[in-house]
Structure 1
Amino acid sequence: MGALMNHTVLPPIAADRDLLAELKSVLAGAEEVSISTPDRSAPLPDSVRGLLVDAVTALDRGQAVTVEALRTVLTTQEAAELLGITRPTLVRLLEAGKIPYTSPGRHRRVELADVLEFQRRERERRGQVLEEMAREEAPDPGDAADGFVSTR
Structure 2
Amino acid sequence: MTSAVEQHTVLPPSVTEPDARQELRRLDEFITLAASPAHQAKLVSPDGGEVVLPDRVYEVLRDVVKAMAQGFAVNIAPLNAVLTTQQAADMLDISRPTLVKLLESGEIPFEKPGRHRRVLLSDLLEYRARSRAERQEILDELTASANRDGSDDIVDGFIQTR
Q: TM-score range by the shorter chain?
A: 0.5 to 0.7
Asked whether 1:21 is paired with 2:33, we answer yes
Q: For residues 135 and 52 of structure 1, do their structure 2 counterparts lie closer, same or farther at Cα, with a shift above 3 Å needed? A: same
1:95/1:84 CA distance change after superposition, 3 Å = same
Cα-to-partner distance string for 1:73-111 (whole Å, 9 max, x where unaligned): 111111111111111211111111111111111111001
Provide the secondary structure at the position in 1 that maps to 2:25: coil
Amino acid of the structure 1 residue aligned with 2:83: L
Match of 1:67 among 70, 74, 87: 74
Relative to structure 1, the CA distance from residue 138 to residue 18 in structure 2 (aligned partners, 3 Å threshold; closer, same or farther) is same
Contact 1:36 1:42 in 2 (8 A): yes
TM-score normalised per structure 1: 0.66
Structure 1: which 5+ residue stretches go unaligned? 142-146
Contact 1:55 1:65 in 2 (8 A): no
Counterpart AA for 2:32: L
TM-score, normalised on structure 2?
Answer: 0.63
SS at match of 1:5: strand
Q: For the aligned residues, what is the CA RMSD?
A: 3.4
Cα distance, 1:45 vs. partner? 5.7
- 2:63 aligns to what? 54
Q: Kindly tell me the number of residue pairs found equivalent between the two proteins.
A: 134
Q: Residues 74-113 of structure 1 correspond to what in structure 2 (within 5 A)?
A: 74-113=83-122
Which residue pairs with 1:138 in the alignment? 150
Q: Could you say which residue in structure 1 is the equivalent of 2:9?
A: 5
